[in-house]
Protein backbone atom coordinates (compact mmCIF):
# COMPACT_ATOMS: atom_id res chain seq x y z
CA UNK A 1 0.00 0.00 0.00
CA UNK A 2 1.15 3.52 -0.78
CA UNK A 3 1.33 5.43 2.49
CA UNK A 4 1.19 8.79 0.74
CA UNK A 5 -2.44 9.89 1.03
CA UNK A 6 -3.47 6.91 3.19
CA UNK A 7 -5.52 7.29 6.36
CA UNK A 8 -3.62 5.64 9.21
CA UNK A 9 -5.13 4.89 12.63
CA UNK A 10 -2.50 4.32 15.33
CA UNK A 11 -3.36 3.05 18.81
CA UNK A 12 -1.13 3.84 21.76
CA UNK A 13 -0.10 6.97 19.88
CA UNK A 14 0.75 9.14 22.88
CA UNK A 15 4.39 8.04 23.19
CA UNK A 16 7.11 5.64 22.12
CA UNK A 17 6.51 3.42 19.10
CA UNK A 18 3.00 4.75 18.54
CA UNK A 19 4.04 8.40 18.43
CA UNK A 20 7.05 7.57 16.24
CA UNK A 21 4.83 5.63 13.83
CA UNK A 22 2.40 8.52 13.62
CA UNK A 23 5.21 10.94 12.84
CA UNK A 24 6.75 8.64 10.23
CA UNK A 25 3.40 8.05 8.55
CA UNK A 26 2.67 11.77 8.49
CA UNK A 27 6.08 12.51 7.01
CA UNK A 28 5.32 9.91 4.32
CA UNK A 29 2.17 11.82 3.38
CA UNK A 30 -0.48 10.00 5.42
CA UNK A 31 -3.44 11.49 7.25
CA UNK A 32 -3.14 10.20 10.79
CA UNK A 33 -5.67 9.39 13.50
CA UNK A 34 -4.10 9.26 16.96
CA UNK A 35 -5.85 7.06 19.51
CA UNK A 36 -4.70 6.89 23.14
CA UNK A 37 -5.88 7.50 26.68
CA UNK A 38 -3.54 10.44 27.33
CA UNK A 39 -5.54 13.07 25.47
CA UNK A 40 -3.25 16.03 26.13
CA UNK A 41 -0.30 14.23 24.55
CA UNK A 42 -2.10 13.16 21.40
CA UNK A 43 -3.66 16.57 20.90
CA UNK A 44 -0.21 18.12 21.12
CA UNK A 45 1.09 15.57 18.61
CA UNK A 46 -1.85 16.22 16.28
CA UNK A 47 -1.03 19.94 16.35
CA UNK A 48 2.58 19.11 15.54
CA UNK A 49 1.69 16.89 12.60
CA UNK A 50 -0.95 19.14 11.09
CA UNK A 51 -3.07 16.74 9.02
CA UNK A 52 -4.00 14.61 12.00
CA UNK A 53 -6.88 13.97 14.40
CA UNK A 54 -6.57 13.05 18.08
CA UNK A 55 -9.19 10.86 19.77
CA UNK A 56 -9.07 9.93 23.44
CA UNK A 57 -9.65 6.19 23.40
CA UNK A 58 -9.34 3.26 25.76
CA UNK A 59 -8.97 0.48 23.19
CA UNK A 60 -10.31 -2.11 25.63
CA UNK A 61 -13.70 -0.38 25.40
CA UNK A 62 -15.59 -1.28 22.18
CA UNK A 63 -17.73 1.85 22.39
CA UNK A 64 -14.70 4.13 22.57
CA UNK A 65 -13.11 2.27 19.67
CA UNK A 66 -16.26 2.78 17.60
CA UNK A 67 -16.09 6.50 18.37
CA UNK A 68 -12.45 6.62 17.26
CA UNK A 69 -13.25 4.79 14.02
CA UNK A 70 -16.26 7.02 13.34
CA UNK A 71 -14.13 10.10 14.02
CA UNK A 72 -11.60 8.85 11.47
CA UNK A 73 -14.18 8.21 8.78
CA UNK A 74 -15.96 11.49 9.47
CA UNK A 75 -12.68 13.38 9.14
CA UNK A 76 -11.10 11.55 6.22
CA UNK A 77 -13.78 9.37 4.65
CA UNK A 78 -12.05 6.03 5.15
CA UNK A 79 -9.44 4.05 7.08
CA UNK A 80 -6.65 2.45 5.06
CA UNK A 81 -4.26 1.34 7.81
CA UNK A 82 -4.65 0.19 11.40
CA UNK A 83 -1.57 -0.08 13.59
CA UNK A 84 -2.37 -2.01 16.77
CA UNK A 85 0.40 -0.73 19.01
CA UNK A 86 -1.19 -0.11 22.42
CA UNK A 87 0.08 -2.53 25.03
CA UNK A 88 1.40 -3.05 28.53
CA UNK A 89 3.96 -5.30 30.18
CA UNK A 90 3.99 -7.46 33.28
CA UNK A 91 7.08 -9.14 34.73
CA UNK A 92 6.70 -11.80 37.42
CA UNK A 93 7.30 -15.52 37.94
CA UNK A 94 4.31 -17.70 37.09
CA UNK A 95 3.51 -18.44 40.72
CA UNK A 96 3.53 -14.73 41.60
CA UNK A 97 1.36 -13.41 38.77
CA UNK A 98 -1.78 -11.76 40.11
CA UNK A 99 -4.67 -13.15 38.03
CA UNK A 100 -6.30 -9.72 37.91
CA UNK A 101 -3.08 -8.21 36.52
CA UNK A 102 -2.88 -11.04 34.00
CA UNK A 103 -6.44 -10.43 32.83
CA UNK A 104 -5.74 -6.72 32.45
CA UNK A 105 -2.66 -7.37 30.32
CA UNK A 106 -4.55 -9.86 28.16
CA UNK A 107 -7.37 -7.36 27.80
CA UNK A 108 -5.06 -4.64 26.46
CA UNK A 109 -2.54 -6.75 24.54
CA UNK A 110 -4.87 -9.33 23.01
CA UNK A 111 -8.56 -8.51 23.36
CA UNK A 112 -8.17 -4.83 22.38
CA UNK A 113 -6.53 -5.65 19.01
CA UNK A 114 -9.48 -7.94 18.31
CA UNK A 115 -11.86 -5.08 19.12
CA UNK A 116 -10.07 -2.64 16.82
CA UNK A 117 -9.77 -5.15 13.98
CA UNK A 118 -13.49 -5.92 14.22
CA UNK A 119 -14.18 -2.19 14.00
CA UNK A 120 -12.10 -1.47 10.88
CA UNK A 121 -12.48 -4.66 8.85
CA UNK A 122 -15.99 -3.83 7.55
CA UNK A 123 -14.69 -0.47 6.30
CA UNK A 124 -11.68 -2.08 4.63
CA UNK A 125 -13.87 -4.78 3.08
CA UNK A 126 -15.97 -2.10 1.37
CA UNK A 127 -12.80 -0.46 0.12
CA UNK A 128 -11.45 -3.87 -0.98
CA UNK A 129 -8.13 -2.73 0.45
CA UNK A 130 -6.46 -2.21 3.77
CA UNK A 131 -3.47 -2.93 5.96
CA UNK A 132 -3.46 -4.03 9.59
CA UNK A 133 -0.17 -4.23 11.47
CA UNK A 134 -0.27 -5.89 14.88
CA UNK A 135 2.71 -5.12 17.10
CA UNK A 136 3.70 -8.30 18.93
CA UNK A 137 7.05 -8.71 20.70
CA UNK A 138 10.40 -10.37 20.15
CA UNK A 139 10.10 -11.75 23.66
CA UNK A 140 7.96 -14.51 22.13
CA UNK A 141 11.09 -15.85 20.38
CA UNK A 142 12.38 -17.31 23.64
CA UNK A 143 11.27 -18.46 27.08
CA UNK A 144 12.55 -15.81 29.46
CA UNK A 145 11.81 -16.33 33.16
CA UNK A 146 9.38 -13.72 34.41
CA UNK A 147 7.94 -12.96 30.99
CA UNK A 148 5.10 -15.50 31.03
CA UNK A 149 2.20 -13.06 31.26
CA UNK A 150 3.48 -10.54 28.73
CA UNK A 151 4.90 -13.12 26.33
CA UNK A 152 1.73 -15.18 26.59
CA UNK A 153 -0.41 -12.19 25.60
CA UNK A 154 1.87 -11.31 22.69
CA UNK A 155 2.07 -14.93 21.49
CA UNK A 156 -1.71 -14.93 21.46
CA UNK A 157 -1.70 -11.72 19.40
CA UNK A 158 0.71 -13.29 16.91
CA UNK A 159 -1.61 -16.24 16.36
CA UNK A 160 -4.68 -14.00 16.17
CA UNK A 161 -2.88 -11.91 13.57
CA UNK A 162 -1.89 -14.97 11.52
CA UNK A 163 -5.44 -16.30 11.50
CA UNK A 164 -6.82 -12.90 10.51
CA UNK A 165 -4.35 -12.79 7.63
CA UNK A 166 -5.55 -16.18 6.39
CA UNK A 167 -9.21 -15.25 6.72
CA UNK A 168 -8.80 -11.95 4.88
CA UNK A 169 -6.41 -13.15 2.21
CA UNK A 170 -8.95 -12.75 -0.61
CA UNK A 171 -10.36 -9.39 0.48
CA UNK A 172 -7.48 -7.07 -0.34
CA UNK A 173 -6.72 -6.62 3.36
CA UNK A 174 -3.18 -7.53 4.43
CA UNK A 175 -2.66 -8.41 8.08
CA UNK A 176 0.95 -8.29 9.23
CA UNK A 177 2.80 -8.87 12.51
CA UNK A 178 5.84 -6.98 13.74
CA UNK A 179 8.18 -8.30 16.42
CA UNK A 180 10.16 -5.41 17.95
CA UNK A 181 13.04 -6.05 20.32
CA UNK A 182 13.99 -3.92 23.31
CA UNK A 183 13.16 -0.32 22.45
CA UNK A 184 13.97 2.96 24.17
CA UNK A 185 10.47 3.95 25.31
CA UNK A 186 8.45 4.46 28.50
CA UNK A 187 7.37 0.80 28.33
CA UNK A 188 9.24 -0.49 31.38
CA UNK A 189 8.17 2.51 33.46
CA UNK A 190 4.51 1.74 32.78
CA UNK A 191 4.42 -2.04 33.19
CA UNK A 192 1.75 -3.43 35.47
CA UNK A 193 4.14 -5.28 37.81
CA UNK A 194 7.84 -6.10 38.10
CA UNK A 195 9.33 -2.81 36.94
CA UNK A 196 12.80 -3.31 38.45
CA UNK A 197 13.15 -6.92 37.28
CA UNK A 198 12.03 -5.99 33.77
CA UNK A 199 14.53 -3.14 33.66
CA UNK A 200 17.35 -5.48 34.70
CA UNK A 201 16.30 -7.99 32.04
CA UNK A 202 16.26 -5.35 29.31
CA UNK A 203 19.69 -3.98 30.23
CA UNK A 204 21.20 -7.48 30.22
CA UNK A 205 19.89 -8.18 26.71
CA UNK A 206 20.27 -4.78 25.08
CA UNK A 207 22.65 -2.23 26.65
CA UNK A 208 21.76 0.00 23.69
CA UNK A 209 18.04 -0.35 22.97
CA UNK A 210 16.69 0.27 19.50
CA UNK A 211 14.90 3.55 18.83
CA UNK A 212 11.15 3.99 18.34
CA UNK A 213 11.95 5.42 14.90
CA UNK A 214 13.52 2.09 13.86
CA UNK A 215 10.37 0.27 14.86
CA UNK A 216 8.18 2.83 13.11
CA UNK A 217 10.05 2.35 9.84
CA UNK A 218 9.64 -1.42 10.14
CA UNK A 219 5.89 -0.94 10.65
CA UNK A 220 5.61 1.28 7.58
CA UNK A 221 7.62 -1.22 5.53
CA UNK A 222 5.02 -3.87 6.41
CA UNK A 223 2.27 -1.50 5.30
CA UNK A 224 4.04 -0.89 2.00
CA UNK A 225 4.79 -4.53 1.26
CA UNK A 226 1.91 -6.34 2.93
CA UNK A 227 4.40 -8.97 4.12
CA UNK A 228 3.25 -11.46 6.71
CA UNK A 229 5.77 -10.45 9.36
CA UNK A 230 9.03 -8.75 10.19
CA UNK A 231 11.24 -8.66 13.25
CA UNK A 232 13.90 -6.51 14.84
CA UNK A 233 15.19 -9.31 17.04
CA UNK A 234 18.99 -9.76 16.85
CA UNK A 235 20.16 -13.01 15.26
CA UNK A 236 21.73 -14.20 18.51
CA UNK A 237 18.25 -14.21 20.06
CA UNK A 238 16.63 -16.08 17.18
CA UNK A 239 15.60 -13.19 14.97
CA UNK A 240 16.75 -11.82 11.64
CA UNK A 241 18.06 -8.40 12.67
CA UNK A 242 21.73 -7.94 11.76
CA UNK A 243 22.25 -4.47 13.17
pLDDT digits (tens, 9 = 90+) for 81-127: 999 999 999 999 999 999 999 999 999 999 999 999 999 999 999 99
Neighbouring CB atoms inside 10 A of 136's CB total 27
In DSSP terms, 173 is beta-bridged to 130
> How many of the other CB atoms lie within 10 Å of CB of 221?
15
pLDDT digits (tens, 9 = 90+) for 45-75: 999 999 899 999 999 999 999 999 999 999 9
Q: Is 179 an active-site residue?
A: no
What pLDDT is recorded for position 192?
46
Handedness of CA 147, 150, 153, 156 (dihedral sign): negative
State the catalytic residue, choosing from 76, 102, 150, 187. 150
Sheet holding 229-231, edge to edge: 52-56, 31-36, 7-11, 81-84, 130-135, 173-179, 229-231
CA distance 66 to 16: 24
Which candidate, 161, 97, 105, places its Cα nearest to that of 132? 161
Backbone φ, ψ for residue 229 (5° rounding): -160, 165
pTM: 0.92
Cβ-based burial of 66 (10 A; exposed 0-12, middle 13-18, buried ≥19): middle
Give the pLDDT confidence score for residue 185 in this predicted structure: 61
Amino acid sequence: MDINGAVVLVTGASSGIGAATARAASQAGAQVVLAARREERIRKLADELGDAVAVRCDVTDPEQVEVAVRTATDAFGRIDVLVNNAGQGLHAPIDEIDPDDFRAVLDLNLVAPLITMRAVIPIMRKQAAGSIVNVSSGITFGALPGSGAYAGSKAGLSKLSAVARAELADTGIAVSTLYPFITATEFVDSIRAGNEAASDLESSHAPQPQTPDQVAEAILDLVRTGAEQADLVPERFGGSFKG
